[in-house]
């Protein structure tokens, strides 16, 4: 197992190298000069050149990528073009905001999605199952920005129950746990709708397959209580395929976070990314791309490890 994990981590290195190189290529081939941000109309051509030199923009692409890589390996992600402070100083608070949002979304989706999926499978083709199927279709078809705006309209503007955005209420009244939870509710609903829909669908089909297994019939035949059959024999065995889905949906969750953070003014990585794009903040964009790729790879690894945990038959 330890050897397997080590091997997987080593495979990540070439993948990350390729990801970072492609990102670098795309970002640097784009039209528009980041030096423009630093140039004021009264600067001479020589001064502009000097600025470009200081930003390292006048060297060939490969040299710049090499430099970036060398610095990154040493933990230096460069200075943000826009705010002119080190990228590594900006990132932690943004990462924590996004991780908070994503973790709550994940936990919430499991808590809602798994039981609904199990019930949907148990009462297959009942009114409840049909309701869930309908919900699935809506959940994967509604654009998250439309859902977000709709929820703000109903719950924040009309009913005045929840805040319209941000992480805490500004001023002395904000920052309590209740206040934080209030700010989380709407973004988490928006972000988890897609996730819950998928979860219900996968848990349902996975459970229906397992109902056909002989050991399930045996469990029922020997008179085990229904709950025990369902949860101990059924759900446990359906976990393996569910884990695959969860890990493969993580990139989608990250993508969804960009839109959700934008709508709810959530100060996370997604919002930072949109800012970086609009100001052509290349070091920041590179850092965010790298971070996102690392997150995806780590989740894939966690999924592989979890397989072995939930299914002892799988050995690496």
Interface with another protein (CB under 8 A), residue from 203, 207, 292, 307:
292
The residue length of the chain stands at: 316
| From 1-9, 40-48, 224-232, 286-294, span contacting another protein (CB under 8 A) | 286-294
Residues of span 118-137 touching another protein by CB under 8 A:
125, 127, 130, 133-134, 137
Site string for another protein, 239-278 (x = CB under 8 A): ------------xx-xxx-xx--xx---------xx--x-
Among 1, 6, 15, 103, binds another protein (CB under 8 A): 15
CB of 23 to another protein, least distance (A): 8
Q: Which is nearer to another protein, 219 or 288 (CB)?
A: 288
Least distance to another protein from the beta carbon of 153, Å?
6
Beta-bridge partners for 86: 79
Chain centroid offset of residue 90 CA: 19
- 164 near another protein, rule: CB under 8 A: yes
Binding mask 96-115 for another protein (x = CB under 8 A): --------------------
What residues make contact with another protein under the rule CB under 8 A?
Answer: 15, 18-19, 22-23, 26-27, 29-32, 125, 127, 130, 133-134, 137-138, 140-146, 149-150, 152-153, 157, 164, 201, 204-205, 208, 251-252, 254-256, 258-259, 262-263, 273-274, 277, 280, 285, 288-289, 292-293, 295-297, 300
């Amino acid at each position: 197992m330890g050897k397997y994990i080590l091997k997987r981590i080593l495979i990540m290195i070439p993948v990350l190298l390729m990801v970072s190189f492609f990102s670098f290529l795309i970002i640097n081939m784009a039209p528009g000069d980041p030096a423009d941000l630093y140039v004021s109309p009264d600067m001479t051509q020589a001064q502009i050149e000097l600025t470009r030199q200081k930003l390292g923009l006048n060297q060939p692409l490969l040299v710049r990528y090499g430099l970036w890589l060398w610095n990154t390996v040493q933990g230096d992600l460069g200075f943000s073009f826009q705010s002119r402070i080190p990228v590594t100083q900006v990132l932690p608070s943004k990462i924590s905001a996004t991780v908070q949002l994503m973790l709550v979304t994940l936990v919430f989706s499991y808590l809602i999605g798994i039981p609904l999926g199990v019930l949907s499978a148990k009462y297959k083709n009942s009114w409840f199952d049909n309701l869930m199927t309908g919900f699935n279709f809506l959940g994967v078809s509604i654009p998250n920005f439309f859902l977000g705006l709709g929820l703000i309209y109903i719950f924040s503007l009309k009913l005045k129950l929840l805040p319209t955005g941000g992480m805490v209420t500004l001023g002395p009244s904000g920052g309590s746990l209740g206040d934080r939870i209030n700010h989380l509710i709407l973004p988490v609903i928006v972000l988890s709708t897609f996730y819950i829909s998928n979860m219900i669908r996968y848990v349902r089909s996975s459970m229906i397959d397992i109902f056909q297994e002989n050991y399930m019939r045996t469990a029922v035949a020997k008179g085990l209580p229904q709950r025990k059959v369902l949860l101990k024999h059924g759900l446990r065995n359906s976990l393996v395929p569910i884990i695959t889905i969860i890990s493969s949906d993580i990139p989608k969750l990250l993508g969804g976070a960009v839109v959700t953070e934008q709508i709810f003014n959530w100060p996370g990585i997604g919002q930072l990314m949109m800012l970086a794009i609009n100001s052509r903040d290349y070091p920041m964009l590179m850092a965010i791309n790298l971070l996102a790729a690392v997150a995806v790879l780590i989740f894939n690894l966690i999924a592989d490890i979890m397989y072995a945990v939930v299914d002892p038959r799988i050995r690496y």
